[in-house]
Amino acid sequence: MPDIVPADVRSRMMSGIRSKDTRPELLLRKALHARGLRYRLHDRSLPGTPDIVLPRHRATIQVHGCFWHGHDCHLYRLPASRPDFWAAKIARNREVDARSAAALAALGWRRAEVWECAMRGRTRRPFDSIVDECEDWVRGNDPELVVRGV
């Protein structure tokens, strides 16, 4: 199926989508800060440049968009226009995520993933429960946490 907008308009639209400081990320950061957790943002010295890095707890948190990371939820659907391009792009994103997770674990960092569907859409959870789960994980010793929609 052909795209319904010209290529230059689509390019401008796609370039406006942020990879840092997304709304779900900002909400989670603010809530964690209010609970006394201090962090660094987008530490480029770590594999995968995690969204939130808590050095004191040796923990990282990635806030993933379900579309961009190919999550198996209702928020992800492969676009009808240029499906080969999008399938390859999202597969590459998933490969990079897996490599980054393995590299962080090898360096002794704990890793959490918070998926967009946990905060938005029909499977969203109460926001306080997400923050509670993240805070408990950060203050605990579990090596991994995955927060997804119900």
- Of 13-27, 49-63, 104-118, the range with the lowest mean pLDDT is 13-27
41-56, pLDDT tens digit by residue? 999 999 999 999 999 9
| Domain that residue 133 falls in | 22-147
**Residue 2 domain flag:** no
Domains held by the chain: number: 1
CATH of the domain at 62: 3.40.960.10
Q: What are 58-83's pLDDT values in tens digits?
A: 999 999 999 999 999 999 999 888 89
**pTM of the predicted protein model:** 0.87
Please provide residue 116's backbone torsions phi and psi, each rounded to the nearest 5 degrees.
-55, -35
13 within a domain of the structure (yes/no): no
List, in order, residues 6 or more apart from 115 with CB less than 8 Å away.
64, 66, 71, 73, 146, 147, 148, 149
Determine, yes or no, domain membership for 59.
Answer: yes
Q: Cα–Cα distance between 91 and 69 in angstroms, integer? A: 8
**Given this model, what pLDDT does residue 70 score?**
94
Task: Evaluate whether residue 15 is within a structural domain.
Answer: no
Rounded Cα distance, 107 and 131, in Å = 26
Question: Could you give the C-alpha distances from 87 to 20, 37, 106, 114, in angstroms and in order?
Answer: 22, 37, 29, 22
Looking at residue 105, its pLDDT comes to: 97
Residue 46 lies in a domain: yes
